[in-house]
Amino acid sequence: MNLECNAADQQQKFHSRADLDRFSNRWNNPYIRKRELRMADKILEKMPLGGKKILEIGCGEGTNLLYLNDRNSDVKYTGIDFSKEKIESFQGFPENIRGIIADATALPFADNEFDLVFIRDVLHHIDWARQKVMDEAWRVLGKGGTLLIFEGNPFAPLNVIFRVLYPVEKGMKNSTLKKMLELLNQYATCTVEYLEPGYLVRGISFVVWKSKSRNILGRCLLPLADIAERFLCIIPRRFWTGRLYFIKKESN
């Protein structure tokens, strides 16, 4: 229990403040932007026909929801996060995007409320509460709806480095394919898709995009990383790229 409390405290301290540099990077960096738009397309592909309500659990500053809205503004988007500061950064967003301060283990929504629920790069940050979060996500997912979970491959080289450098990433060790399938298959048969390579571009952007001086370096390195990732596509994706898991709730 003490270990769980310590881990929770560590995550809350790290993620409680809005990271406007990260938001700017993900929204304004052209190399990240084209990847985020493809991710938004992938998420919307899984939306049930006629679906109009999407929930993101652990929405941070709301970048994912903005990209989704960029692709389809006819949907009502809701994001929840424990951080008041992150949710406050939603000010000025389109009216169909709302942010709510909430606990992912006790969502303030009725059963079967959303057509699609997604959790991106979050489960490894709440390693001690994966089951509770999944139970809640499944509860608020509507009949016939889709639940999407994105988690990185813990054995990808850059993820291994991040797990060493950043203690808040240590929970990724439990995001192996085997453990994720064991978790998700409790609810419905899980399907896995292996996404495009993106670790080089994202890793470099994480380091070099935060200041004007580093931006110059970024402008030199990012085109090279973009080209390198195209060549890396010859390596089977299941061994090193991020994974998108999805399960569908029966209509009956």
Q: How far is CA 178 from CA 58, 68, 100, 131, in A?
A: 23, 29, 32, 15
The highest-confidence range among 4-18, 201-215, 234-248, by mean pLDDT, is: 234-248
Residue 3 has pLDDT above 80, yes or no: no
**Placement of tokens 């491959």 in the chain:** 153
Instruction: Choose the weakest-confidence range: 24-28, 41-45, 159-163, 215-219.
Output: 215-219
Give the separation between CA 70 and CA 102, rounded to whole angstroms: 25
Q: Which CATH number fits the domain 2-248, given the four candidates 1.10.3720.10, 3.20.20.70, 2.60.120.260, 3.40.50.150?
A: 3.40.50.150
Residue 11 has pLDDT above 70, yes or no: no
Average pLDDT, rounded, for the chain = 87
The pair phi, psi for residue 193, each rounded to 5°, is -120, 140
Q: What is the percentage of the chain residues whose pLDDT exceeds 70?
A: 88
The highest-confidence range among 21-25, 48-52, 144-148, by mean pLDDT, is: 144-148
Please state the rounded mean pLDDT for residues 225-248.
83
Strand, coil or helix: what is 246?
Answer: strand
* Domain boundaries, given as residue ranges, for the chain: 2-248
Q: How far is CA 177 from CA 123, 150, 157, 171, in A?
A: 13, 11, 16, 14
pLDDT digits (tens, 9 = 90+) for 178-209: 999 999 999 999 999 998 767 778 777 777 76
**Placement of tokens 């999944």 in the chain:** 134
The confidence band for 102, taking pLDDT boundaries of 50, 70 and 90, is very high
Residue 212 has pLDDT above 60, yes or no: no
Residue 39 has pLDDT above 80, yes or no: yes
On whether the CB atoms of residues 140 and 107 are closer than 8 A, the answer is yes
| The pLDDT of residue 168 | 79
| The pLDDT of residue 4 | 57
| The pLDDT of residue 7 | 59
Residue 115 has pLDDT above 70, yes or no: yes
Give the separation between CA 190 and CA 176, rounded to whole angstroms: 14
| The pLDDT of residue 44 | 96
Please state the rounded mean pLDDT for residues 227-250.
84
